[in-house]
Chain A
Amino acid sequence: MRTTYRDAMRAALRQALADDPRVFLMGEDVGRYGGCFAVSLGLLEEFGPERVRDTPLSESAFVGAGVGAAMAGMRPIVEIMTVNFSLLALDQIVNNAATILHMSGGQFNVPLVIRMTTGAGRQLAAQHSHSLEGWYAHVPGLRVLAPATVEDARGMLAPALADPDPVIIFEHGSLYAMEGDLPDDTRPVELDHAAVRRPGRDLTLVTYGGCLPKVLAAADALSAEGVEAEVIDLRTLRPLDDDTLAESVARTHRAVVVDEGWRTGGLSAEVAARISEQCFWDLDAPVGRVGSAEVPIPYAKHMEEAALPQVDDVVAAALEAVS
């Protein structure tokens, strides 16, 4: 079935709401407006205001409510408009959701799912465009997902809800309109492994989320130059799938990490470090990285494009690694 990432996500929400009466969706404008990115369009009409709830503009309050509801036996799905705004709920997520299982001596789980958009590319400027998922990937007690394909958009929500602990799903804003094929018998996907999106022998390109389409395009361009790149989609940013990374780099001996976040202290730094730790004696070139320019994401289109990792940047970094 041909569908979009947005529709796949909506189908997953619809199924979750239909399958389990404990599941409800809440967030800013998710009901009457249909969601800021139209993901939940029509769900209010279908499931009613008890199950699809518009909230006040207070991330701390409604995420906190979600934590409480989860502890009390519900299965809340909380939508935060962008990862930038999630900083207003950082206390609830990092100090409460992520810690309560441990601080209660295992008495309370927090089966909460938080969805938020991340990333730039749509001229929404610095306060709506950053890629801060690496911050959440830093925190024990959270599972962090980054669906990069239509299939993962459709299939990741169910296992996230089934997880007894908090899960954050990052949806890159530039992916919503992306089309892809979905098998007719959609089923939950597994969350424990990175995916090899393209096999190759000459180097490994590691990426996730919104950068995956760019990296696949770069791999095509490299192939035309005789360089066969293997493309790994991390899918789960915490915990990272070390085995898939190590197996690939041990074969290709070269790696470039592509991440829309900033390089300094970023997720790409973590991935590069793990590759160096696990594959040092297999490396034939330094691990390369491609990230966003270390500036707040600009508004102007040409400047935004210049600040973000582009296909040419990935190609150049890959060619340097294999030179």
Chain B
Amino acid sequence: MGAFTMPSLGADMDRGTVVEWRVAPGDRVSRGDIIAVVDTEKSTVEVEVFESGVVEELLVPVGEEVEVGTPLATIASGEAIQPLPAPSPPAASPPAASAAPPPTPSSPPSRSPAPSPPPPSASPVPVRAHVVSPLVRHLAEELGVDAEALPASGPGGVVTRADVVAAARLGLGVPPATQPSGPGAPPPPPAAPAPPSAARPVGRPRRARVPSDGARVVASPYARRRAAEAGVELCDLAGTGPGGAVLARDVPATPSVSVTGVGAATPAAAAAPSASEPASAPLRRGPEALRASVAALMARSKREIPHYYLRTTIDLGLVRSWLDRVNVDRPPGDRVVPAAVLCWATARAAATNRGLNGHWVDDGFRPASGVQLGVAVSLRGGGLLAPVIPDADTLDADELMRRLRDLTERARHGGLKASEMADPSITVTNLGDTGVEEVYGVIYPPQVAMVGFGKVVERAWVVTDRIEVRPVVTVTLAADHRATNGHEGARLLATIDRLLQDPEEPWSATEPPTSS
């Protein structure tokens, strides 16, 4: 059983809005399935699920903006755990129920040293899905809730006290009369704080042990603090911690002032391909929100990152002749543009210059495994996205071209996947199409490097003592001086250059270039 939470789709995202659910409670999902579409300030993104199981409940309705980490849905893992039909046969349940300790987190952790005998209450108990403890059963009775038909949040699908309280608040369940507590229903186990009335005959109406406005909710100190700050009642929250304890992740974010200037959705948003996207969904991604998001990230970068800059000019003669050869026979859709080859070289170079491929986190550099190549894509109307091509260092130039084209298309017209909005390990920006010769990038935190390409221009170039007209490009590096020194940065650019001068390099799996 797990919570599917609002993912972080980039270093600058802290809130998101579900604009579409692609699953419903009861649907079976597999790891990797796209189950929701989330709108961030920057883009509409399809979000994958990371565990397999059955969707139990959708916790956040379409259109509600929540903080990153907020549970969006609960997913029962492994075997399908479906609510049992209510009411359950009373005679069948007592043996299992009597064996199960109440799932309260106040029971001592069973991590006692091996030689000491385990405390009696910690004896291993097979927990059956949806079997509720006697205490929870009684609470359900008192609150008039059918405990057998509730969504359960406890370990192994156990209905917890918090579930019952939450259900009572929402007015779920049935009148107590239809909830038989059979004569076999056992008294609470001795470990539980049983009131004196426990000795009374079972099956009787009990004195309300808990006020009807809610039992004491088990919650971590941090969750209590967060709830107080957010002005949320703990008993309104569904706990996902041990025994249903409310943890910080279960507390919704502090309501904050939303981004102003909603205005019309951007063309990109309006053109989002998800046919079922509800037109009424409050898309708050106006140009101003996009601008604010870029502004915050770039200001943070310049505030925190001591940038250093390098530039060099690279002869693209070999690349040009290779492109001429491969493109001549291809339909436009299969042609490769120089930017793809430049991205290819950058990805390869980043793989061997690992000090520039990774993240600066908590005052230390963490190299990434593989090259997650970010590609800065400008959006019409002024937006900027840097979606990622995973493991770009393993792709040849043809494949990179296909991915680049596909990614650019979906960045501009919607439909990026969550994994494509993950933090890249290094980013490329290419302003050559606008005609400028150089671009000095601003690093996306927490990355440590940005490689920039300008326009490919014809220049007089000295080639073995002769002056020739050659296509050349200026490549720049903006890098984080905390993570690397200029020397390492220079080696990255030199590596890119060498890759682009080496006729033996397998730029394309299908068409190896001939040397010029």
Contact = CB atoms under 8 A, between A and B. Distances in A.
Contact of B248 (A253, A280, A316): A253
Contact of A283 (B114, B220, B361): B220
Nearest to A316: B111
A74 to B, nearest CB: 41
Given A253-B248, A288-B111, A283 B362 contact: no
B113 interface: yes
A123 B222 CA distance: 43
Interface string A269-285: 00000000000111111
Contacts, number: 56
Contact of B363 (A199, A201, A306): A199
Interface string B343-369: 000000000000000000111100000
B109 interface: yes
A1 interface: no
Given A199-B361, A199-B363, A320-B111, A281 B116 contact: no
Interface residues of B, number: 21
Contacts of B113: 263, 291-295
Contacts of A307: 114
A323 B111 contact: no
A196 B363 CA distance: 10
Given A199-B361, A201-B362, A323-B242, A281 B115 contact: no
Given A293-B115, A294-B116, A323-B242, A282 B109 contact: no
Contacts of A110: none
B114 A320 contact: no
Interface residues of A, number: 28
A284 B247 contact: yes
B224 interface: yes
A295 B222 contact: no
Given A294-B115, A295-B115, A320-B109, A253 B363 contact: no
A286 B109 contact: yes
Given A284-B220, A284-B223, A284-B248, A306 B362 contact: no
Contacts of B225: 281-282
The 8 closest A-B pairs by CB, nearest first: A199-B362, A293-B113, A284-B222, A284-B220, A281-B225, A284-B248, A283-B221, A281-B221
A12 interface: no
8 contacts: A199-B363, A281-B222, A284-B222, A285-B247, A290-B111, A291-B113, A323-B241, A323-B242
Contacts of B115: 293-295
B111 A199 contact: no
Contacts of B116: 294
A286 B106 CA distance: 10
